[in-house]
Structure 1
Amino acid sequence: MKITFCCTDTKSEPWLKGLAAALPGADISVWQAGAPQADYAVVWAPPQQFLDEQPDLKALFNIGAGVDALLKLRLPPTAAVVRLDDAGMAVQMAEYVCHAVIRHFREFDAYDESMHAGQWAYRKPRLRTDFAVGVTGLGVLGTRVARALAQFEFPVNGWSRSPKALGGVRCYSGAEGFNDFLAASRVLVNLLPLTPETQDILNQGTLSRLQSGGYVINVARGAHLVDDDLIALLASGHLAGATLDVFRTEPLPAGHPFWQHPKITVTPHTSARTLRDETIAQIAGKIAALQRGEAVAGIVNPDRGY
């Protein structure tokens, strides 16, 4: 069994060492142009040349949660694309989103301003019932986030493409349920996969349907959000603020209006980072299962984009 590693901007040595320990006997190497055909590939942002030179791959294992960039490439015809189910990302995402929601709800930015001004100032407590949180995308990450928010007794709404049922979460589904979901939510957390159908989904029309004083948390992909529409809704007062971890261009360019906007918190695509040991264990387990002829979770449907 031959495995090739082709991950842009990633140190290969720890990955190769970990994969070799998890899959003894496998031939594991870093891809170089002209390398022999492999059975499986572990990838992140591979060049098209790599995919063209590996036409008989059985499966591509993506080391990040999102596969949208990979699906834009011309893939080997028989290769399954396998995404990570979790690998330590879900708890990180739940931490990040809960922190962002609570920071906004408890008005900690305003307390920071008071502290820097040397003011001992209380703010009137707000009611959780007035801050329904809507989570778009109820996959592994979205489900963990929704359940974590429910532990803090926020009303939690969830929206997904197909119907789902989660305890403590009011679930909506399909195009017919999307507007009702938005109207029932004051805080919006975006965890959708990026597909042609979801690109630019956070726009003037959709964000205007959030309850007045709404708040946006985008931890999925920058191309979901129409930047100018967010800024306009913040200026109008319909939205109170946003926490953004992902952007159309990364790193976020110098001079972008998000950097200095007083109502926007920016973080550098760090809401849920790949944890190497957990990811290696998951990929190795799936490769071993495929070798035994068993089905594995996380196989991407290219038509859906996830």
Structure 2
Amino acid sequence: MTVLLSGRWSAAEGERWAQLLREAMPEEQWLLHPPRNAAEAAAVEVAVVANPEPGALSGLPNLRLIQSLWAGVDRLLQDPSLPPGVPLARMVDPAMNEAMVHTALWAVLSLHRRFFELQVQQRQALWQAPPQLRAAECTVLVLGLGELGGRTAQTLAGLGYAVHGWSRRPRELAGVQIWQGEASLAQALAAADIVINLLPLTPQTRGFFSAERLAQMRPGACLVNLARGAHVDEAALGAALDRRHLRHAVLDVFQQEPLPPDHPFWPHPQVTVLPHCAAQTDPRTAVPQVRVNLAALRAGQALAHLVDRGQGY
């Protein structure tokens, strides 16, 4: 099969992906540039992509599969030229999942034990120990209980935290109190000391953390956003932090990336900024996932991790 590799990345990153993919699947014909003529376009049966430029997948009449190298597919789905009817598979990378759990755990531990405030005290030469609450006295709400959210919730529960999870669909997770549906959301937010956002970005979740929803959170609670910047009304979050309704925010994603140097979150004492690095796809473990799906396509078997375009994930 001819496989088109297309993405928005640095030259070095693109070369690394191309090398690993070709080494893992030497039987495929890899097209590492946009098709230059109708014959090349007609030959493409699979597109392996990493947020390609809009329109990059149009004009491929024999395309049978779009395999994303990233877990999120919201940018792909926003491209009006995305070929309709072609199966779209997202990446479920075990190494990325593990990294996300580690970042969420670091954030929860730092907020629970007030380590971010201790960093500020160090700069002030202030020797003052904070209260030491038990993990069971800290309620953590995980929004979104898919692959990432489910693992994060269960890991935190295993460490003794009082873990709640919220999902639109019915879920069961050992050691996790589940809230389901829109009707329960305000109550779930009000019960949590720390809220971790791992929701997919869909039309329904865009702007999810509005001023109204932030006001539903428990006074003194903390927000950890590891999903998408478009989930958060940044002005409303800044206002909630400034008036001390929320204690702290750990943010890995933003509406504009890189975060502009003059953005108020950079110097904000109650905000921890991460440069979209909470969990990155690891080519060493992601490439085998691509190989499995291409083999399934060739054999006419079921494809893994297909996206429901109507749901957006």
Q: TM-score range by the shorter chain?
A: over 0.9
**Matched residue SS, 1:49:** coil
- Superposed, 1:139-218 pairs within 5 Å as 139-218=146-225
Runs of 5+ consecutive residues of structure 2 not aligned to the other structure: none
- Quick check: 135-144 or 116-125, which moved more? 116-125
What is aligned with 2:8? 8
- Quick check: 41-50 or 248-257, which moved more? 41-50
Distance apart, 1:286 and its partner CA: 0.9
- Superposed, 1:103-118 pairs within 5 Å as 103-118=110-125
Counterpart check, 1:59 vs 2:65: yes
CA distance in 2, matches of 1:98, 1:139: 17
Distance apart, 1:250 and its partner CA: 0.3
CA distance in 2, matches of 1:218, 1:194: 12
CA RMSD of aligned residues (A): 1.5
Counterpart check, 1:277 vs 2:279: no
Q: Deviations for 1:15-60, whole angstroms, at most 9, x for unmatched residues?
A: 2222222223211120224251311011112123321222331111
Distance change in 2, residues 1:237/1:13 (3 Å)? closer
Distance apart, 1:177 and its partner CA: 2.2
- Quick check: 116-125 or 215-224, which moved more? 116-125
The answer (yes or no) to whether the contact 1:132–1:156 under 8 Å persists in 2 is: yes
The answer (yes or no) to whether the contact 1:132–1:157 under 8 Å persists in 2 is: yes
- Superposed, 1:117-136 pairs within 5 Å as 117-136=124-143
CA distance in 2, matches of 1:192, 1:113: 30
The answer (yes or no) to whether the contact 2:92–2:286 under 8 Å persists in 1 is: no
Distance change in 2, residues 1:212/1:128 (3 Å)? farther
The answer (yes or no) to whether the contact 1:64–1:83 under 8 Å persists in 2 is: yes
Q: How many residues align?
A: 306
Distance apart, 1:105 and its partner CA: 1.0
Counterpart check, 1:303 vs 2:305: no
Deviation >4 Å, runs of 4+: none
CA distance in 2, matches of 1:67, 1:198: 14
**Matched residue SS, 1:284:** helix
CA distance in 1, matches of 2:121, 2:247: 18
CA distance in 1, matches of 2:55, 2:126: 60
The answer (yes or no) to whether the contact 2:222–2:248 under 8 Å persists in 1 is: yes
Q: Deviations for 1:101-140, whole angstroms, at most 9, x for unmatched residues?
A: 1111111123223333444432221243442110111111
What is aligned with 1:44? 50
- Quick check: 219-228 or 9-18, which moved more? 9-18
- Superposed, 1:22-101 pairs within 5 Å as 22-35=24-37, 36=40, 37=42, 38-73=44-79, 74-101=81-108
Counterpart check, 1:245 vs 2:252: yes
CA distance in 2, matches of 1:253, 1:157: 34
Task: Report the identity percentage.
Answer: 35
- Quick check: 264-273 or 117-126, which moved more? 117-126
Runs of 5+ consecutive residues of structure 1 not aligned to the other structure: none
CA distance in 1, matches of 2:153, 2:145: 8
CA distance in 2, matches of 1:50, 1:108: 45
Report the residue type matching 2:176 in the other structure: V
Query: Taking structure 1 as the reference length, what is the TM-score of the superposition?
Result: 0.95
CA distance in 2, matches of 1:14, 1:109: 36
CA distance in 2, matches of 1:55, 1:160: 38
Q: Deviations for 1:248-301, whole angstroms, at most 9, x for unmatched residues?
A: 000011211111111000010000011011111101111101211111221101
- Quick check: 81-90 or 17-26, which moved more? 17-26
Report the residue type matching 2:183 in the other structure: E
- Quick check: 191-200 or 115-124, which moved more? 115-124
CA distance in 1, matches of 2:123, 2:268: 18
Report the residue type matching 1:271 in the other structure: A
Report the residue type matching 2:17 in the other structure: W
CA distance in 1, matches of 2:255, 2:99: 22
